[in-house]
């Protein structure tokens, strides 16, 4: 039983071990009965205290594909509405005996706190503007798949937009650097994070200056729900300076790919329909969420040696 909290704790060796499991998980998903017994008898509880579509559904699909039972907690219909604290909620769910707790919360650090209150393995499904490690793992897998390379050394990734409020950017920068990629963060200065000099990346305020040198153009959503004090950029101005449009698509390198973690603010990050753009791998990111999260659950609960026999 091992927690999956942040990329720093996971480290390069374990990240590579998780990524190495993904092709086996994808093979399971391609079977006529896409289900194996690897986690039979285990229970995975979903504790999402902030909204989610992709992460929640893909963790659920991943747990079921490994034959784990699932428990889904819905904050709006729970006793939290009667004032029950997060700690009491975690201890109550833990008393029901889950083996893993998948946690999303709007406040940075909550999964670490939850780990102190439960015997279960805690998997971070996104905490505040801090970390989203399973997104970074599925993105690394998607980049390797799309660029048809195991090594990311020499691969140039431009992460564009609201870096300051983005847990996706923080986890991706950590993992991509561990895997050998070079990263440039492109944002207007209010959306660059404080202390970016210590991140080991380049920073730019001009997408036009960097776009022609990228292998991966990674667009981020402007996370209005986390922007306080009138610091939100004007959508039109943002789209003009940092949005993807047809002119910028034409400046992409041959073979370059376009990514976005979703959800997309239409017309802001891109005026081009990302579901139809040939360079876009946004659909692959979503689809890869399931085998990558299968690998994460397996690593957390059973280890790489678990069998892949049909149920």
Using CB under 6 A as the criterion, which residues of the chain lie in contact with ligand ASP when the complex forms? 126, 132, 167-168, 221, 223, 261-262
Rounded-to-integer distance, Cα 45 and Cα 34, Å: 21
Min. distance of Cβ 58 from ligand CP in angstroms?
A: 8
Residues 6+ apart with CB under 8 A from 74: none
In the bound state, the residue with its beta carbon closest to ligand ASP is 221
Residues 6+ apart with CB under 8 A from 196: 163, 185, 203
* Angle, helix 133-147 to helix 54-65, in steps of 10 degrees: 80
Nearer to ligand CP, 54 or 253 (CB): 54
Strands 257-259 and 121-127: unpaired
Longest dimension (CA), the chain: 56
Residue 53 interaction partner, one of ligand CP, ligand ASP, none, beta carbon < 5-8 Å per kind: ligand CP
**Which entry of ligand CP, ligand ASP, none binds 221, CB below 5 to 8 A by partner kind?**
ligand ASP
- Which partner in ligand CP, ligand ASP, none is near 193 (CB below 5 to 8 A by kind)? none
Question: Which C-beta is closer to ligand ASP: that of 150 or that of 225?
Answer: 225
**Cβ 106 to ligand ASP, closest distance in Å?**
10
Q: Which of 72, 200, 46, 51 is nearest to 124 (CA)?
A: 46
Residue closer to ligand CP, measured from CB, 14 or 54: 54
Distance CA 75, CA 99 (A): 20
Shortest distance in whole angstroms from residue 272 CB to ligand ASP: 18
| Alpha carbon distance 241, 229 (integer Å) | 22
Q: Minimum distance between the CB of residue 137 and ligand ASP, rounded to whole angstroms?
A: 14
Q: What's the DSSP call for residue 120? A: S
Residue 272 structure tokens: 């081009």
Binding site for ligand CP (CB under 6 A): 52-56, 126, 135, 261-263
29 interface partner picked from ligand CP, ligand ASP, none, CB below 5 to 8 A per type: none
CB of 126 to ligand CP, least distance (A): 6
135 versus 280: smaller Cβ distance to ligand CP: 135
Min CB(52)–ligand ASP separation in Å: 6
> Which residue lies nearer to ligand ASP by CB, 98 or 289?
289
Show the tokens assigned to 196.
Answer: 């970016």
**Nearer to ligand CP among residue 38 and residue 216 (C-beta):** 216
- DSSP-derived secondary structure for 41-62: T-EEEEEE-S--SHHHHHHHHH
């Amino acid at each position: 039983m091992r927690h999956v909290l942040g990329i720093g704790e996971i480290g390069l060796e374990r990240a590579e071990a998780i990524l190495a499991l993904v092709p086996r998980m994808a093979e399971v998903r391609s079977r006529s009965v896409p289900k194996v017994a690897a986690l039979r008898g285990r229970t995975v509880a979903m504790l999402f205290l902030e909204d989610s579509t992709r992460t929640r559904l893909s963790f659920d699909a991943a747990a079921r594909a490994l034959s784990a039972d699932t428990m889904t907690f819905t904050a709006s219909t729970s006793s939290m509405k009667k004032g029950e604290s997060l700690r009491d909620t975690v201890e109550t769910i833990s008393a029901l005996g889950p083996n893993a707790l998948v946690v999303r919360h709007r406040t940075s650090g909550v999964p670490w706190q939850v780990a102190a209150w439960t015997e279960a393995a805690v998997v971070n499904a996104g905490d505040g503007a801090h970390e989203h490690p399973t997104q970074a793992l599925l993105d690394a897998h998607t980049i390797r798949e799309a660029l048809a390379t195991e090594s990311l050394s020499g691969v140039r990734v431009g992460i564009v937009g609201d870096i300051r409020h983005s847990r996706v950017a923080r986890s991706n920068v950590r993992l991509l650097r561990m895997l050998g990629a070079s990263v440039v963060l492109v944002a207007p200065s209010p959306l660059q994070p404080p202390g970016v000099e210590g991140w080991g990346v380049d920073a730019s305020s001009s997408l036009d200056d960097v776009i022609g040198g990228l292998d991966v153009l990674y667009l981020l959503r402007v996370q209005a729900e986390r922007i306080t004090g009138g610091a939100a950029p004007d959508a039109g101005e943002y789209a003009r300076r940092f949005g993807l449009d047809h002119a910028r698509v034409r400046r992409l390198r041959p073979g370059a790919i376009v990514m976005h973690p979703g959800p997309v603010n239409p017309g802001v990050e891109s005026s081009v329909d990302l579901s139809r753009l040939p360079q876009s791998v946004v659909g692959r990111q979503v689809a890869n969420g399931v085998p990558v999260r299968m690998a994460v659950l397996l690593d957390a609960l059973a280890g790489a040696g678990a069998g892949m026999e049909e149920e």
